[in-house]
Structure 1
């Protein structure tokens, strides 16, 4: 069994994550992905949030740019996958303040 070393975040990455999570809807989206076992179909997220597809896409892109989720595309379908290692690294950074 191999152990992977924890992810280390740069100052810039921490700032991107903080900015992404400062928006309440993005925080809620991240919570919902985590609550679904770390992966949820994009179409399900669209049904839950009463925003335009373009707005939801913007929020997902911000979470992806911050490294908190990965958007896995298969044809015309997309799945949002929580990047738990990045979230854990961010929490470690906050705990060390």
Structure 2
């Protein structure tokens, strides 16, 4: 799902992002990723409280909503917030 022209999301994209950030743990993960230019998956604070499989699921949901980009280096994953997508989502959300 590429971001539509002029940072306008399709309704499908908007809905996918809304579902992704509706989960409190997923939103907490997104905030951690947003706080740094790039974050290693192992640096997420949630690793202390939830299983790696659950973290992986949340990252998958954020990636499928195109909020997070994952760059793999061997077994390591580097996570980056897609600010263009997040900004487009916030823009549309504010116009409701």
Indicate whether the TM-score tops 0.5. Answer: yes
Pairwise mapping of residues 1-97 of structure 1 onto structure 2 (< 5 A)? 6-36=6-36, 38-45=37-44, 48-49=45-46, 50-97=49-96
Alpha-carbon deviations, 1:39-89, whole Å to 9, x = none?
Answer: 2100111xx111111100000000001010011101111111100000000
Asked whether the equivalents of residues 33 and 82 of structure 1 are also in contact (C-alpha less than 8 Å), the reply is yes
Unpaired stretches in structure 1, ≥5 consecutive residues: none
Partner Cα distance (1:94, 1:8) in 2: 11
Calculate the TM-score normalised by the size of structure 2.
0.88
The RMSD of aligned alpha carbons is: 1.1
Tell me the CA shift for residue 7 of structure 1: 2.1
TM superposition shift of 1:8: 1.9
Q: How many residues align?
A: 90
The structure with the largest alpha-carbon Rg is: 1
